[in-house]
Chains A and B, each alone.
Chain A
Amino acid sequence: MHHIYCPYCEEMREEEEYSYTGEAHIERPKDPAAISDDAWADYIFFRSNPRGIHHEMWYHAAGCRRYFNATRDTQSYKVHETYKMGEMPTITAATIAAAAASEQGDAS
Protein backbone atom coordinates (compact mmCIF):
# COMPACT_ATOMS: atom_id res chain seq x y z
CA MET A 1 0.00 0.00 0.00
CA HIS A 2 1.51 3.30 -1.10
CA HIS A 3 2.34 6.12 1.28
CA ILE A 4 1.65 9.38 -0.55
CA TYR A 5 2.29 13.03 0.34
CA CYS A 6 -0.76 15.21 -0.23
CA PRO A 7 0.61 18.60 -1.30
CA TYR A 8 -2.50 20.34 0.01
CA CYS A 9 -2.80 18.64 3.39
CA GLU A 10 1.01 18.70 3.58
CA GLU A 11 1.12 15.24 5.13
CA MET A 12 2.00 11.69 4.16
CA ARG A 13 -1.24 9.70 4.06
CA GLU A 14 -2.14 6.07 3.34
CA GLU A 15 -3.13 5.04 -0.17
CA GLU A 16 -6.54 4.03 1.21
CA GLU A 17 -7.47 7.73 1.44
CA TYR A 18 -6.85 8.35 -2.24
CA SER A 19 -8.27 7.34 -5.58
CA TYR A 20 -5.98 6.97 -8.59
CA THR A 21 -7.39 8.92 -11.54
CA GLY A 22 -5.15 8.31 -14.52
CA GLU A 23 -2.55 10.09 -16.59
CA ALA A 24 -1.81 13.72 -15.74
CA HIS A 25 -1.24 16.80 -17.96
CA ILE A 26 -3.92 15.90 -20.48
CA GLU A 27 -5.56 19.12 -21.57
CA ARG A 28 -9.04 19.11 -23.05
CA PRO A 29 -8.88 20.43 -26.64
CA LYS A 30 -10.04 24.04 -26.54
CA ASP A 31 -12.08 23.73 -29.73
CA PRO A 32 -13.36 20.15 -30.02
CA ALA A 33 -15.35 20.91 -33.17
CA ALA A 34 -12.18 21.95 -34.98
CA ILE A 35 -10.15 18.78 -34.46
CA SER A 36 -10.30 15.55 -36.40
CA ASP A 37 -12.07 12.40 -35.22
CA ASP A 38 -8.69 10.73 -34.80
CA ALA A 39 -7.35 13.51 -32.63
CA TRP A 40 -10.53 13.50 -30.52
CA ALA A 41 -10.38 9.71 -30.14
CA ASP A 42 -6.75 10.01 -29.12
CA TYR A 43 -7.74 12.45 -26.36
CA ILE A 44 -10.55 10.24 -25.05
CA PHE A 45 -9.14 6.76 -25.38
CA PHE A 46 -5.37 6.70 -25.60
CA ARG A 47 -3.04 6.98 -22.64
CA SER A 48 0.66 6.41 -22.36
CA ASN A 49 1.72 3.23 -20.55
CA PRO A 50 5.37 3.65 -19.70
CA ARG A 51 7.58 1.25 -17.85
CA GLY A 52 9.20 3.75 -15.57
CA ILE A 53 8.36 7.38 -14.88
CA HIS A 54 4.67 8.19 -15.10
CA HIS A 55 2.96 11.46 -14.27
CA GLU A 56 -0.47 10.75 -12.90
CA MET A 57 -3.38 12.24 -10.97
CA TRP A 58 -4.52 11.24 -7.52
CA TYR A 59 -7.71 12.38 -5.77
CA HIS A 60 -7.65 12.77 -1.98
CA ALA A 61 -11.15 11.33 -1.77
CA ALA A 62 -11.20 10.66 1.99
CA GLY A 63 -9.29 13.80 2.87
CA CYS A 64 -9.24 17.29 1.39
CA ARG A 65 -10.93 16.20 -1.89
CA ARG A 66 -8.29 17.93 -3.99
CA TYR A 67 -6.80 16.45 -7.13
CA PHE A 68 -3.00 16.58 -7.37
CA ASN A 69 -0.23 15.11 -9.49
CA ALA A 70 2.44 12.52 -8.76
CA THR A 71 5.61 11.41 -10.53
CA ARG A 72 5.76 7.68 -9.89
CA ASP A 73 7.85 4.85 -11.26
CA THR A 74 5.44 2.21 -12.53
CA GLN A 75 8.03 -0.51 -12.04
CA SER A 76 9.52 0.16 -8.61
CA TYR A 77 6.46 2.12 -7.34
CA LYS A 78 8.77 4.81 -6.02
CA VAL A 79 6.87 8.08 -5.75
CA HIS A 80 9.45 10.67 -6.72
CA GLU A 81 7.32 13.71 -5.99
CA THR A 82 3.78 14.99 -5.69
CA TYR A 83 2.84 18.46 -6.90
CA LYS A 84 -0.24 20.64 -6.99
CA MET A 85 -2.72 20.69 -9.83
CA GLY A 86 -1.61 23.22 -12.39
CA GLU A 87 2.09 22.78 -11.61
CA MET A 88 4.65 20.90 -13.70
CA PRO A 89 6.89 18.04 -12.49
CA THR A 90 10.48 18.75 -11.47
CA ILE A 91 11.45 15.10 -11.97
CA THR A 92 10.94 13.48 -15.37
CA ALA A 93 12.33 10.51 -17.28
CA ALA A 94 14.67 12.98 -18.97
CA THR A 95 16.04 14.51 -15.75
CA ILE A 96 16.61 11.04 -14.30
CA ALA A 97 18.43 9.87 -17.42
CA ALA A 98 20.57 13.02 -17.39
CA ALA A 99 21.43 12.52 -13.72
CA ALA A 100 22.38 8.89 -14.37
CA ALA A 101 24.52 9.86 -17.35
CA SER A 102 26.41 12.52 -15.42
CA GLU A 103 26.96 10.07 -12.54
CA GLN A 104 28.48 7.61 -14.94
CA GLY A 105 30.53 10.43 -16.38
CA ASP A 106 31.81 11.22 -12.88
CA ALA A 107 32.61 7.59 -12.18
CA SER A 108 34.60 7.00 -15.33
Chain B
Amino acid sequence: MIFVTVGTQLAFPRLVEAMDSLAPDLDEEIVVQCGPVKGVWNNIVAVQSMAPDEFSENFAAARVIVAHAGIGTILSAKNAHKPLIIVPRQFKFGEHRNDHQMATARYAQKLAGVHVAWETDELMGLLLNPDLEPAHVDPGPSHAALVNRLRDFIDQ
Protein backbone atom coordinates (compact mmCIF):
# COMPACT_ATOMS: atom_id res chain seq x y z
CA MET B 1 0.00 0.00 0.00
CA ILE B 2 1.13 3.52 -0.78
CA PHE B 3 0.17 6.09 1.85
CA VAL B 4 0.03 9.68 0.68
CA THR B 5 -0.15 12.52 3.22
CA VAL B 6 0.03 16.28 2.81
CA GLY B 7 -0.36 17.25 6.48
CA THR B 8 -3.38 18.79 8.13
CA GLN B 9 -2.87 22.49 7.46
CA LEU B 10 -2.90 23.08 3.72
CA ALA B 11 -4.08 21.38 0.56
CA PHE B 12 -1.50 20.16 -1.94
CA PRO B 13 -3.46 19.46 -5.17
CA ARG B 14 -0.33 19.13 -7.33
CA LEU B 15 0.75 16.04 -5.39
CA VAL B 16 -2.74 14.51 -5.09
CA GLU B 17 -3.42 15.01 -8.82
CA ALA B 18 -0.07 13.44 -9.68
CA MET B 19 -0.89 10.37 -7.59
CA ASP B 20 -4.33 10.17 -9.22
CA SER B 21 -2.79 10.13 -12.67
CA LEU B 22 -0.13 7.58 -11.70
CA ALA B 23 -2.58 5.24 -9.95
CA PRO B 24 -3.72 3.26 -13.05
CA ASP B 25 -0.11 2.30 -13.77
CA LEU B 26 0.59 1.24 -10.18
CA ASP B 27 -0.70 -2.16 -9.19
CA GLU B 28 -1.00 -1.10 -5.57
CA GLU B 29 -3.59 0.28 -3.20
CA ILE B 30 -3.23 4.02 -2.60
CA VAL B 31 -4.57 5.71 0.56
CA VAL B 32 -4.55 9.50 0.49
CA GLN B 33 -4.92 12.06 3.28
CA CYS B 34 -5.37 15.18 1.20
CA GLY B 35 -5.85 18.07 3.65
CA PRO B 36 -8.56 20.75 3.48
CA VAL B 37 -9.64 20.46 -0.17
CA LYS B 38 -12.72 19.17 -1.92
CA GLY B 39 -11.60 17.46 -5.08
CA VAL B 40 -12.89 14.79 -7.40
CA TRP B 41 -10.33 12.22 -8.37
CA ASN B 42 -10.96 9.28 -10.65
CA ASN B 43 -8.49 6.70 -9.45
CA ILE B 44 -7.89 7.30 -5.77
CA VAL B 45 -9.95 7.67 -2.62
CA ALA B 46 -8.87 10.56 -0.42
CA VAL B 47 -9.91 11.73 3.04
CA GLN B 48 -9.21 15.26 4.22
CA SER B 49 -7.88 14.35 7.65
CA MET B 50 -7.44 11.33 9.88
CA ALA B 51 -7.50 10.82 13.64
CA PRO B 52 -3.99 10.26 14.98
CA ASP B 53 -4.46 6.50 15.50
CA GLU B 54 -5.95 6.00 12.04
CA PHE B 55 -3.05 7.98 10.60
CA SER B 56 -0.57 5.77 12.45
CA GLU B 57 -2.28 2.58 11.27
CA ASN B 58 -2.01 3.64 7.64
CA PHE B 59 1.56 4.73 8.18
CA ALA B 60 2.44 1.34 9.67
CA ALA B 61 0.65 -0.62 6.95
CA ALA B 62 2.24 1.24 4.03
CA ARG B 63 5.09 -0.07 1.89
CA VAL B 64 6.15 3.46 1.09
CA ILE B 65 5.05 6.97 2.14
CA VAL B 66 4.58 9.84 -0.33
CA ALA B 67 4.29 13.25 1.30
CA HIS B 68 4.98 16.96 1.36
CA ALA B 69 8.33 17.94 2.88
CA GLY B 70 6.89 18.37 6.38
CA ILE B 71 9.05 17.78 9.42
CA GLY B 72 6.28 15.80 11.13
CA THR B 73 6.12 13.40 8.21
CA ILE B 74 9.88 12.98 8.11
CA LEU B 75 10.01 12.26 11.84
CA SER B 76 7.09 9.81 11.52
CA ALA B 77 8.87 7.95 8.71
CA LYS B 78 12.00 7.68 10.82
CA ASN B 79 9.99 6.31 13.75
CA ALA B 80 8.11 3.83 11.56
CA HIS B 81 11.17 2.77 9.53
CA LYS B 82 9.41 3.48 6.23
CA PRO B 83 10.86 4.61 2.93
CA LEU B 84 9.71 8.20 2.41
CA ILE B 85 9.32 10.09 -0.86
CA ILE B 86 8.85 13.82 -0.37
CA VAL B 87 7.65 16.45 -2.83
CA PRO B 88 8.42 19.91 -1.42
CA ARG B 89 5.65 22.50 -1.51
CA GLN B 90 6.60 25.51 -3.60
CA PHE B 91 5.73 29.14 -2.97
CA LYS B 92 5.44 29.87 -6.70
CA PHE B 93 2.49 27.44 -6.94
CA GLY B 94 0.79 28.92 -3.85
CA GLU B 95 1.42 25.74 -1.91
CA HIS B 96 2.88 27.40 1.20
CA ARG B 97 3.69 30.80 2.65
CA ASN B 98 7.33 30.55 1.59
CA ASP B 99 9.85 28.07 0.23
CA HIS B 100 10.95 26.55 3.53
CA GLN B 101 9.96 23.07 2.31
CA MET B 102 12.55 23.38 -0.46
CA ALA B 103 15.19 24.01 2.20
CA THR B 104 13.88 21.10 4.28
CA ALA B 105 14.05 18.83 1.23
CA ARG B 106 17.63 19.90 0.42
CA TYR B 107 18.65 18.93 3.94
CA ALA B 108 16.43 15.84 4.23
CA GLN B 109 17.74 14.25 1.05
CA LYS B 110 20.96 13.61 2.97
CA LEU B 111 19.03 11.53 5.53
CA ALA B 112 18.94 7.78 4.99
CA GLY B 113 15.60 6.62 3.64
CA VAL B 114 14.33 10.05 2.56
CA HIS B 115 13.97 10.37 -1.21
CA VAL B 116 13.14 13.68 -2.84
CA ALA B 117 10.99 14.08 -5.95
CA TRP B 118 11.72 17.71 -6.82
CA GLU B 119 9.01 17.52 -9.48
CA THR B 120 6.05 15.15 -9.59
CA ASP B 121 7.34 13.49 -12.78
CA GLU B 122 10.11 11.96 -10.65
CA LEU B 123 7.54 10.09 -8.52
CA MET B 124 6.95 7.12 -10.83
CA GLY B 125 10.59 6.03 -10.92
CA LEU B 126 10.82 6.13 -7.14
CA LEU B 127 7.49 4.33 -6.63
CA LEU B 128 8.49 1.50 -8.99
CA ASN B 129 11.71 0.87 -7.08
CA PRO B 130 10.97 -2.16 -4.84
CA ASP B 131 14.12 -1.66 -2.77
CA LEU B 132 13.78 1.92 -1.57
CA GLU B 133 15.87 2.34 1.56
CA PRO B 134 13.71 2.85 4.68
CA ALA B 135 14.23 5.79 7.02
CA HIS B 136 15.39 5.04 10.54
CA VAL B 137 15.90 6.71 13.88
CA ASP B 138 19.44 7.74 14.58
CA PRO B 139 19.43 10.21 17.47
CA GLY B 140 22.76 11.90 16.90
CA PRO B 141 25.02 13.99 19.13
CA SER B 142 23.26 17.16 18.01
CA HIS B 143 19.94 15.89 19.42
CA ALA B 144 21.54 14.95 22.74
CA ALA B 145 23.24 18.35 22.97
CA LEU B 146 19.93 20.15 22.46
CA VAL B 147 18.19 18.05 25.13
CA ASN B 148 21.04 18.66 27.59
CA ARG B 149 20.98 22.42 27.03
CA LEU B 150 17.22 22.51 27.65
CA ARG B 151 17.51 20.28 30.70
CA ASP B 152 20.20 22.48 32.23
CA PHE B 153 18.07 25.58 31.67
CA ILE B 154 14.94 23.95 33.11
CA ASP B 155 16.69 22.50 36.17
CA GLN B 156 18.57 25.66 37.13
A binds B: no
